[in-house]
Amino acid sequence: MAKCGVCHRGCDLAEGQMGLCMARKCENGVVLAANYGAITSIALDPIEKKPLNLFYPGSKIISVGSYGCNLRCPFCQNHEISYGFSFDSAGSGGIDLDNSFFGGTRDQFPECRFLDPKDLAELAVEYVHGGNIGVAFTYNEPLVGYEYVVDAAKEVHRRGLKTVLVSNGCVSQKVCEKVTEHIDAMNIDLKGFTDEYYEKTLGGSRQMVMDFITTAAKTSHMEVTTLIVPGYNDTEDEMKRISSWIAGLNEGNGAKTIALHISRYFPRFKMTDISATNVDTIYKLADVARENLAHVFVGNC
Ligand code: SF4
């Protein structure tokens, strides 16, 4: 048996067993990232799609995802990869990357292609002429395989390019500290401001996410996203508390100015009984947030 300390779940894993994230596995008594280098998704995206609006606006970034996630959001938009699957990490490839690259189809999913950190960094360099500024780790939850994020980010930095992380932020401070020094900019979800929503609906820890944002914002460019789900986190009072807490970080801990993205939910995956968030609600909540924050953006409207 071995214990994983990456996130709030603290999985105790028997030999050969996968954690709930379906990305980490006990091998020879050690918990490691079984998804290391296994790339399920790759694209050259506008930086605003991460979303990052205040970090090299107008640029593009090679964005990669693997598989696995430690949360269980019922409305997950990427459930095909975030809920994980068994994968031979030797990575025979299989997927024709040209078929999924730069907006192509993904009908061969869920096969993966193995890209070691140096190969990924070299790929990023190849696309600099097309406006690429570096590599973003995104799509699934990158930090359930944080070892790859760290190794690849080092290679990207060695080549003078930028690194971006898009994450749910629900990992231990130990992992946060290991990763943060290698990441230039982040977009972290703060999905709501009640423990009940985090614990009962998402299977996460609000406090762990808040601690992550607090620590990471001291050294990385930080933007935060809140997805507004009707009936769960769509009150003006909750938005006041979210924006007030972020404003406190802006003032209190030396963080650079933090932007908030307020995003519209659409029915997906297991949550199909709740209609998409009303656009007027999003604009109203953005106005509420602007009472506390200088940079508020709306998404999916
Ligand atoms: S990262 Fe995965 S294996 Fe580790 S504690 Fe979290 S869910 Fe469990």
pTM equals 0.91
pLDDT of residue 265: 96
pLDDT above 60: residue 35: yes
Per domain, the residue ranges of the chain are 2-299
pLDDT of residue 79: 86
Q: What is the mean pLDDT of residues 281-301?
A: 96
Whether 24 lines ligand 1, by a CB cut-off of 6 Å, is yes
pLDDT of residue 102: 27
Whether 130 lines ligand 1, by a CB cut-off of 6 Å, is no
pLDDT in tens, 197-248: 999 999 999 999 999 999 999 999 999 999 999 999 999 999 999 999 999 9
pLDDT in tens, 236-270: 999 999 999 999 998 765 556 899 999 999 999 99
Whether 124 lines ligand 1, by a CB cut-off of 6 Å, is no
Which residues are CB-neighbours of 43 under 8 A, at least 6 positions away?
62, 63, 100, 101, 102, 103
Protein residue with its CA nearest to atom 6 in ligand 1? 7
pLDDT in tens, 41-63: 999 999 999 999 999 999 999 99
CA 33 to ligand 1 center in whole angstroms: 10
Residues 227, 190: contact at Cβ < 8 Å? Answer: no
Backbone torsions φ then ψ of 181, nearest 5 degrees: -65, -15
Whether 20 lines ligand 1, by a CB cut-off of 6 Å, is yes
User: Which mutation among 18, 20, 172 tests ligand 1's pocket best, with the greatest number of atoms within 8 A of CB?
Assistant: 20
pLDDT in tens, 143-194: 999 999 999 999 999 999 999 999 999 999 999 999 999 999 999 999 999 9
Amino acid at the residue 183:
I
HSE-CB of 97 using CA atoms within 13 angstroms: 17
pLDDT of residue 139: 95
pLDDT of residue 255: 56
The 3-state secondary structure of the chain reads: CEECCCCCCCCEECCCCECCCCCEEEECCEEEECCCCEECEEEEEEHHHCCCCCCCCCCEEEEEECCCCCCCCCCCCCHHHHCCCCCCCCCCCCCCHHHCCCCCCCCCCCCCEECCHHHHHHHHHHCHHHCEEEEEECCCCHHHHHHHHHHHHHHHHHCCCEEEEEECCCCCHHHHHHHHCCCCEEEEECCCCCHHHHHHHHCCCHHHHHHHHHHHCCCCEEEEEEEECCCCCCCHHHHHHHHHHHHHHHHHCCCCCCEEEEEECCCECCECCCCCCCHHHHHHHHHHHHCCCCCEEEECC
The class that CATH gives domain 2-299 is alpha beta
pLDDT in tens, 76-129: 988 888 875 533 333 333 223 333 332 233 343 456 889 999 999 999 999 999
pLDDT of residue 251: 76
pLDDT of residue 97: 30
pLDDT of residue 267: 94
pLDDT of residue 33: 97
